[in-house]
């Protein structure tokens, strides 16, 4: 079974998008009268009956409505410096959705590459990964400058973590004792954060943590952090 | 700094491959008299002096030799059912090398897709990832049938773990208490293991574990498992 996606599930009946209709009618060969599950990526999951099935448009009648489906007690917000190669960020988005991340900020740092980030494409990838992994939450995504990131989230009461390479920093993420129900994890670019950025994070009570003892690519480091946090705190 | 690769470091001086020479002479613009680090992917790391630098051939004189460099106390052997799309396995190999995995078996299961696995290409990707992450160990890689995998490793005294989707299986990997210094983690195909395969693993004292509570793609599940094990046991 795979979920369908529809951005607005407020009405009691609705027509699936052309892409979803095609998938429903052609790939899955559904017929009128059968039931499907549809999510809006914001925690709503409906069980719906297919009233009519055409390749261009399938009409769905809501039979059962579930809100906050699969809502987790804790949330994870990943801030990550975008890589030069957009494939690596797209790959990261797919994996983050599978594992379950509430928010992703692509943070342009002083030492960041500045690639063109196609957020629309990222959204489409996220929807596809969400459907495949039968989840009902899409991460919020944004592209943001480091200064704005600090302005927006620096005084959050979340557990704020920054992963960077410093010999004095010996706190492994897996041993970090969580204090709140929100986590912000910030992972820097290949050239690491600038001294000023680290000082700013320090002022905002970010805790410095390590992601193992290896030199990891940016996207590997980000996923490493998300998996450790998901495994420890988010199940 | 980035390591160079040379498959055989037994001699006291040697000539870098044409690819490595080009990288050394052209991309990094090294000159005779400078020092580089070279690994064979089997734990040997040498510090070498460049005797001559040409785009086609750089000659290296061994100055210092380190054996078992970065050897870990525990080893991880991943068995994973290959995905239809080879990109996903190539991506997994890259990430496994970064995180540090000693062996990868691509295990053809009853419900596996049977793609063409280009092990030579995988080796090249592994070498590239090893150099980038400054490690000195390449994972051993093999393509193998499930029956042969069980025959070869079923009576190993390693901690043998199998990840599969069963409602009765509630042991999360992150809570698994390691007993030995070797870990074998087996991750199945999208269609999961067959009943016979699970029964065989059970006979060989594989412990059933869960990788979180989400439905993950094969390569995501494999990486999830490797990260949790690396974070807990392999640093």
Break chain B into its structural domains and give their ranges.
Answer: 4-66, 75-234
Contact at CB, A235 and B213, closer than 8 angstroms: yes
Mean pLDDT, rounded, of chain B: 93
Mean pLDDT, rounded, of chain A: 93
CA distance to A45, A70, A98, A127, A226, per residue, from A131 (Å): 11, 14, 9, 6, 20
* pLDDT higher than 90, residue B22: yes
Q: Phi, psi (5° rounding) for residue A139?
A: -70, 140
Contact at CB, A100 and B214, closer than 8 angstroms: yes
Contact at CB, A133 and B217, closer than 8 angstroms: yes
Extract long-range pairs of A166-173: CB within 8 Å, 24+ residues apart: A166/A208, A169/A208, A169/A209, A169/A210, A170/A210, A171/A207, A171/A208, A171/A209, A171/A210, A172/A209, A172/A210, A172/A211, A172/A212, A172/B231, A172/B235, A173/A209, A173/A210, A173/A211, A173/A225, A173/A228, A173/A229, A173/B231
For B199-209, how does the pLDDT look when each residue is reduced to its tens digit (9 = 90+)? 999 999 999 99
Angle at B81 between CA A123 and CA B211, to 5 degrees: 60
CATH assignment of A4-66? 2.40.240.20
Q: Report ipTM (2 d.p.).
A: 0.91
- A163 to chain B: which residues are within 8 Å by CB? none
Contact at CB, A228 and B228, closer than 8 angstroms: yes
Task: Give the helix, strand, coil percentages of chain B, each rounded to 5.
Answer: 30, 25, 40
Arithmetic mean of pLDDT, A44-52: 97
The CATH homologous superfamily of the domain defined by A75-234: SPOUT methyltransferase, trefoil knot domain (3.40.1280.10)
CA A84 to chain centre: 20
- B235 to chain A: which residues are within 8 Å by CB? 172, 212-213
Residue B235's pLDDT band (cuts 50, 70, 90): low
Contact at CB, A217 and B100, closer than 8 angstroms: no
- Which residue from B95, B174, B217 is facing A98, i.e. has the nearest CB? B217
Chain A interface mutation, best of B173, B224, B225, highest count of A Cβ atoms under 10 Å: B224
Give me the percent of chain B exceeding a pLDDT of 70. Answer: 99
Arithmetic mean of pLDDT, A196-215: 94
Chain B interface mutation, best of A39, A72, A95, highest count of B Cβ atoms under 10 Å: A95
Contact at CB, B99 and A217, closer than 8 angstroms: no
- What does the DSSP 8-state code read for residue A118? -
* pLDDT higher than 90, residue B159: yes
Closest CA to A187 of A156, A221, A159, A235: A221
Residue A189's pLDDT band (cuts 50, 70, 90): very high
As a whole number of angstroms, the distance between CA B231 and CA A174 comes to 6
Give me the percent of chain A exceeding a pLDDT of 90. Answer: 84
Q: What is the pLDDT of residue B72?
A: 87
Burial B201-216 (b: 16+ CB within 10 A, else e): beebebebbbbbebeb
């Amino acid at each position: 079974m795979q979920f369908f996606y529809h951005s607005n599930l407020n009405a009691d009946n609705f027509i699936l998008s052309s892409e979803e209709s095609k998938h429903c009618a052609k790939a899955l060969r559904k017929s009128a009268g059968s039931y499907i599950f549809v999510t809006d990526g914001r925690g709503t999951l409906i069980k719906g009956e297919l009233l009519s099935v055409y390749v261009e448009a399938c009409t769905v009648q809501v039979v059962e409505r579930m809100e906050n489906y699969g809502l987790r007690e804790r949330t994870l917000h990943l801030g990550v410096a975008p890589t030069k190669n957009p494939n690596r960020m797209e790959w990261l988005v797919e994996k983050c959705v599978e594992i379950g991340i509430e928010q992703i900020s692509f943070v342009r740092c002083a030492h960041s590459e500045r690639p063109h980030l196609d957020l629309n494409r990222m959204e489409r990838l996220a929807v596809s990964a969400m459907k495949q992994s039968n989840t009902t939450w899409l991460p919020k995504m944004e592209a943001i400058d480091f200064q704005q990131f600090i302005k927006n989230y620096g005084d959050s009461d979340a557990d704020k973590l920054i992963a960077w390479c410093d010999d004095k920093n010996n706190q492994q993420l897996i041993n970090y004792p969580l204090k709140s129900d929100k986590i912000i994890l910030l992972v820097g670019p290949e050239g690491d954060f600038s001294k000023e950025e680290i000082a700013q994070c320090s002022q905002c009570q970010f805790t410095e943590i390590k992601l193992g003892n290896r030199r990891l690519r940016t996207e590997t480091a980000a996923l490493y952090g998300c998996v450790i946090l998901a495994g420890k705190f988010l199940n």
